[in-house]
Structure 1
Amino acid sequence: MNILDKIIARKKQEIADSKSRVLLQQLKDSKFFNRKKLSLKESLHSKSGIIAEFKRQSPSKGIINDKVSPLEVASAYEKFGASAVSVLTDQDFFGGSFEDILSVRNHINIPILRKDFMIDEYQFYEAKSMGADVILLIAACVSQNQVSEFTELAHSLDLEVLLEIHTEEELQHIDKNVDFVGINNRNLKDFKVDLQHSVHLKNQLPEKTLSIAESGIYSEEDFNFLKEKGFDGFLMGEYFMKDEKPGNKFAEFISNVAM
């Protein structure tokens, strides 16, 4: 069993536990459920194009930064030009929580991506209830039919959809209704990073697809390389989070890259 299999097995248990504790109607009654989303489509090109991530830890890197608060980091990301903030809500493997989104929702005015392993309809209602604007679908975790069904559900809840792929086979998962296609530079099964592989996949995307380069962007050179290859957006977390002041690191990065 690879790490992704372990994560999904645990996620199924976690969802079952959540369903037993919080009814769907309780999610629908939450204060954020009927708020109008902030659109990543609109902010992606009006700002830096960077979806800056708050992430405490990962299975491949262990603890990255558990000393800073989501509000401190997200506020700095917004201040210095992030198009959106990505927040990990998986607890067991990434050290995240729903509270990480709840704690920043009323304090920033850019979209929030709930980054998790979405495999059940219930999680979409969770995302809406905590004030997320965008959800992540990972092709390696869902079927082609589920991509279509989950995208329809997300849109009915006024959520945008970022579909993540990593292999040529997963190109088949792309539904014309998804809002963005993210190409993960890191293989989720062995965590190897290959930017050239991502460029190869990008060249096979349907015409006019909004493309997001994800993970493994470790330098200004990496960013500029992917930008020159035509990516519309960039999901970056570890590069900023490994600094003791992620917001300052983000500000420094923005000032140095060719925007």
Structure 2
Amino acid sequence: MILDEIAAYAAQRVAHAKELISPGELRETALKLPKGDLKFTKALQTDGMSLICEVKKASPSKGIISEEFPYLAIAEDYEAAGANCISCLTEPKWFLGSDDIFREIRSAVSTPMLRKDFTVDEYQLYEAKVLGADAVLLICALLDTKTIERYLGICDTLGLSALVETHDETEIESAVQAGAKIIGVNNRNLKNFTVDFSNAARLREKIPASALFVAESGVTVAADIARLKASGADAVLVGEALMKAPERRAALREFRRAAQ
């Protein structure tokens, strides 16, 4: 399964990174930084449905999404058109992302940023903090309940928000037990990358009112945004539709109108 391959490669990346900077050194550097103020979480608590807009060059299901990939211009367009948050892929093999891309975008925009990667080691949480991230992604399909709970504790210490991604009832139960405050439901099955747009709406009732609910993947038009809002989503993550839009700012403004 592709998710297993991505996770195995993430573990290799972490092992290599630890050879360059020891876990102790990275942790010390991260803890010396000012504690985060949960800007990402606060951005999802605004009136109307929030939009998390994604910067990504490629994906396992679609291949190359953006040939030219002017990532700074993309992020600046998102900020100018009113994105509540920006998600930036740093996975290098399948998504062609990088930490350097994240750093450059972070220095160019003030919008809260999610470091979107495949977290398999707590080392990556400290990496995210040092990169300037406001939030990290934790995927229930990769992490058991106790590990998610421990990672959430580290995030709390660093002042990072955590988007805990789920795909079904069992994973939502795990996220809730772990204490997740932001729970995403991915309409894309990460095991075979098929999309079922009704997944988020169907699982909405499983998520407690105390947690923020993020619908992920499958949005193509503004009507999809309106449909997810009607299902009770607090936020929606939109990637490919905006990446491929000929006029990103206009497309995002249209999505924002549908979210209000």
Give the TM-score normalised by structure 2. Answer: 0.91
Q: CA deviation at 1:176?
A: 5.7
Aligned residue number for residue 19 of structure 2: 20
| 1:243 aligns with one of 237, 242, 245 | 245
SS class of match (1:15): helix
The one-letter code matched in structure 2 to 1:171 is I
Contact 2:38–2:160 (CA under 8 A) maintained in structure 1: no
Contact 1:185–1:194 (CA under 8 A) maintained in structure 2: yes
Write out per-residue CA displacement over residues 39-71 of structure 1, whole angstroms, 9 at most, x where no aligned residue: 122222437600000010000000001313322
SS class of match (1:51): strand
Q: CA deviation at 1:77?
A: 0.8
Aligned residue number for residue 6 of structure 1: 5
More helix by share: 2
Q: Which moved more, 1:81-90 or 1:104-113?
A: 104-113
Distance 1:104 1:31 in 2: 22
Q: Which moved more, 1:113-122 or 1:215-224?
A: 215-224
Aligned residue number for residue 179 of structure 2: 177
Write out per-residue CA displacement over residues 96-139 of structure 1, whole angstroms, 9 at most, x where no aligned residue: 00011110223222210010101101000100000000011000
Q: Which moved more, 1:156-165 or 1:29-38?
A: 29-38
Note if 1:44 corresponds to 2:44: yes
Aligned residue number for residue 205 of structure 2: 203
Contact 1:56–1:95 (CA under 8 A) maintained in structure 2: yes
Q: CA deviation at 1:205?
A: 1.3
Number of equivalenced pairs: 257
Distance 1:27 1:258 in 2: 38
The one-letter code matched in structure 1 to 2:16 is D
The one-letter code matched in structure 2 to 1:187 is N
Contact 1:38–1:110 (CA under 8 A) maintained in structure 2: no
Contact 1:32–1:131 (CA under 8 A) maintained in structure 2: no
SS class of match (2:127): helix
The one-letter code matched in structure 2 to 1:117 is F
Cα RMSD of the aligned pairs, angstroms, is 2.1
Q: Which moved more, 1:72-81 or 1:139-148?
A: 72-81
Distance 1:32 1:249 in 2: 40
Q: CA 1:237–1:200 in structure 2 vs 1: closer, same or farther (change >3 Å)? A: same
| 1:220 aligns with one of 219, 222, 226 | 222
Aligned residue number for residue 150 of structure 1: 151
The one-letter code matched in structure 1 to 2:115 is R
SS class of match (2:206): coil
Contact 2:30–2:126 (CA under 8 A) maintained in structure 1: no
Distance 1:66 1:27 in 2: 36
The one-letter code matched in structure 2 to 1:92 is K
| 2:190 aligns with one of 188, 191, 194 | 188
Q: CA 1:30–1:145 in structure 2 vs 1: closer, same or farther (change >3 Å)? A: closer
